[in-house]
Structure 1
Amino acid sequence: MQEKYRHFIYDYLTEFGISDTTAEYLNMFGLLLILIIVVFIIDFVIRKILVKTFYQFASVSKTNFDDLLVANKVPRNIAHIIPLLIAMEFTPNIFRDFPNFDGVIEKGLQVFAIVLTLWIVRSFLNTLKDYFKTLPRLKDKPIDSYIQVFMIFAWVAGFMSAIAIITDTPFIKFLTALGAASAVIILVFKDTILGFVASIQVSINDMVRIGDWITFEKYGADGDVIEINLATVKVQNFDKTITTIPTYALISDSFKNWRGMVSSDGRRIKRSVSIKMDSVNYLNKERLKTLSGIELISTYLKQRQADIDRYNNDHNIDKSIPLNGRNLTNLGVFRKYVQTYIENHSAINKDMTIMVRQLAPTAQGIPIEIYAFSNDKRWENYEYIMADIFDHLIAALPYFDLELFEFPSGSNFKGLNITE
């Protein structure tokens, strides 16, 4: 029965006196055309049915995994399997009289089967990638890197399988021959291998997550990580530019990750003002009386001065020279004022380190540094808090007879009579 239908067109043509050779070719092309039309119709019908079924199932399902399957065209790719199997089943019958054509078409269908498998695997892995990114535990992990690694192995395996089919070489022998070229392969895929190893180390050591704010001076990156894949890490800088960093640079070079600050209870303020050395002096009774009117340090000055006077009296200190005995300096009182001011500031986290310290003198004066943490970690608010604190301190310096150091400018030389 099968032979009868296979030669149906051939028998019909020979009855009209067409030569056997021509009838065989026309019979082959006719059957091939019929097969192509049937395969396309079946593919269209199955694709419509399968995609519609998935859509209906996804619309009533509580999980979004099936929605992602549809979005990544998994049902559409799976629908091609049955038409491909039909084509592989009937093709040998069509080309039975043409063994040369039969071998080429059969190999072509087998190669297409490999490509279709890769399409299905890729769409399914993309679905997994999108789904994992919706999970709180995995959304900040470098899922793209792992998916790309799997796809690279899949494409390499598919490519080798296709070459083995085309050359009629057993797959094992093909792999053996490929082993001889392993050095070249390693050289070609050096960046991919380095990126893969780096991705694993980054994930295991939890060095970087998507959404982290990192600073990488070597590559000019200062912003949020928006993507981690096998070869590169993309950072969106605060000026909205995108910086691309090789993934393996995360383990070979030094960078700063601000995640600890973001997850902590405050953002560090570490800034200093430089005081002119020649403005530092001892405080006499008149100046102490004036400074005692400052509410933040009024109690401190009274208690501290009482302790100093008691010590000096007990030890019969000659106070005709201020250097003798114990004394208060305007810089020390200012430092205490700054400490009290910071401790009472509403924007400073009182549960974290609060310190006002004097750093080593430099050619630019004596630095008085504030080391504290703001409650608000948002960049714009943090900058406002820090500016507000130092605006106040700079304005407060003259009350303590202290001067802020700054390099001379053009206005400092006006009015000077400079003659040769």
Structure 2
Amino acid sequence: MQDLISQVEDLAGIEIDHTTSMVMIFGIIFLTAVVVHIILHWVVLRTFEKRAIASSRLWLQIITQNKLFHRLAFTLQGIIVNIQAVFWLQKGTEAADILTTCAQLWIMMYALLSVFSLLDVILNLAQKFPAASQLPLKGIFQGIKLIGAILVGILMISLLIGQSPAILISGLGAMAAVLMLVFKDPILGLVAGIQLSANDMLKLG
């Protein structure tokens, strides 16, 4: 980026100070983010939603209801901001570190929410089949969401404190008793549902 600014200075015959260059860079990143947001949410997703509502295909309507593509679009926006931060800002500077950290936190959060939406889509579709009613799918998916949230939470905390996730994971052993106590009911419900389903002990009607 500094080379590009130097070329602009040579061509225009002016000298751009550090503050001005930073304002220009953040302006470019902001405008790009706004343009991408408008294209994705106001054009692409609105068009998709209109077609999904008009369509008779159930899976399209379920995807729209669970906002899967909305969350994927936000994830993509975070990736684009992160790429711009790496491209425009000098590595190791405070501005680059702050922007990349915020972008990566954004990506992790919306990637997790996208997975949650995908699981909800699968669950809603599965519940349309009679055979799925005999399976504890809701409990299983809640367990997957819980594990995913814990893992992403560890990654986000490790990013903020600048430490390896392995250090935080190694400390989970001491928190196991607390986690078991807090999430006792969901865990017991999941185990009971799996046992009932595996032994065919419960049926509708």
Q: Deviations over 1:86-122 (max 9, x none)?
A: 2111113443287123222212211111111111101
Aligned match of 1:52 in 22, 47, 53? 47
CA contact (8 A) 1:7 1:27 kept: no
Please say if 1:41 is aligned against 2:30. Answer: no
Q: Residues 346-367 of structure 1, C-alpha deviation per residue, up to 9 Å, x if partnerless?
A: xxxxxxxxxxxxxxxxxxxxxx
Q: Does residue 40 of structure 2 align to residue 65 of structure 1? A: no
Equivalent position of 2:4 in the other structure: 4
Question: Structure 1 pair 105/205, CA: closer, same or farther in 2 (3 Å)?
Answer: same
Measure, in 2, the Cα distance between the counterparts of 1:123 and 1:8: 46
The answer as to 2:98 corresponding to 1:95 is no
Who is 1:146 aligned against? Answer: 140
Aligned twin of 1:131:
125
Partner Cα separation in structure 2 for residue 26 and residue 192 of structure 1: 54
- Structure 2: which amino acid aligns with 1:79? A
Letter matched to residue 166 of structure 1: L
Aligned to 2:114: 120
Residue type at the aligned position of 1:168: G
| Distance apart, 1:140 and its partner CA | 5.5
For 2:101, the equivalent position in structure 1 comes to 107
The answer to whether 1:29 aligns with 2:29 is no
* Rounded Cα–Cα distance in structure 1 between residues aligned with 2:48 and 2:120: 21
Q: Which amino acid aligns with 2:176?
A: S
Aligned to 1:192: 186
| Residue identity (%) | 20
1:278 aligned partner: none
How many Å separate the matches in 2 of 1:86 and 1:206?
A: 49
Aligned length: 202
CA contact (8 A) 1:164 1:174 kept: yes
How many angstroms apart in 1 are the aligned matches of 2:98 and 2:153?
A: 18
- Cα offset for 1:8? 5.2
Residue-by-residue CA offset, 1:270-291 (whole Å, 9 max, x unaligned): xxxxxxxxxxxxxxxxxxxxxx
Tell me, which stretches of 5 or more residues in structure 1 are unaligned?
A: 213-258, 260-420
CA distance in 2, matches of 1:135, 1:153: 26
Structure 1 residue ranges (4+ consecutive) displaced by more than 6 angstroms after TM superposition: none
SS in 1 for 2:131: coil
Deviation at 1:152, TM superposition (A): 0.6
**Which 5+ residue runs of structure 2 have no aligned equivalent?**
none
Give the letter aligned to residue 119 of structure 2: L
Q: Structure 1 residues 155, 3: closer, same or farther in 2, change over 3 A?
A: same
- Note the C-alpha offset of 1:185: 2.4
Amino acid at match of 2:124: D
Q: Is the 8 A contact 1:129 1:143 kept in 2?
A: yes
Conservation of the 8 A alpha-carbon contact between 1:202 and 1:208: yes
The letter of the residue matching 2:70 is R
1:61-85 residue CA offsets vs partner (Å, 9 max, x unmatched): x641122112211122222343322
Q: Say if 1:8 and 1:180 are closer, same or farther in 2 by CA, change over 3 A.
A: farther
* TM-score normalised per structure 1: 0.43
Q: Relative contact order (alpha carbons < 8 A, sep ≥ 6): 1 or 2 greater?
A: 2
The one-letter code of the counterpart of 2:116 is R
Q: 1:202 is matched with which residue: 196, 199, 203?
A: 196
Q: 1:85 aligns with which of 69, 79, 83?
A: 79
Deviations 1:216-238 (A, max 9, x none): xxxxxxxxxxxxxxxxxxxxxxx
TM-score, normalising length: structure 2: 0.81
User: What CA distance in whole angstroms lies between the structure 2 residues aligned with 1:168 and 1:49?
Assistant: 37
Q: Comparing both structures, which one devotes a greater share of its residues to helix? A: 2
Question: AA paired with 1:3?
Answer: D
Q: Distance in 2 between matches of 1:2 and 1:95?
A: 9
- How far off is 1:131 after superposition? 0.8
Letter in 1 for 2:117: S
Partners of 1:148 and 1:111 lie apart in 2 by: 23
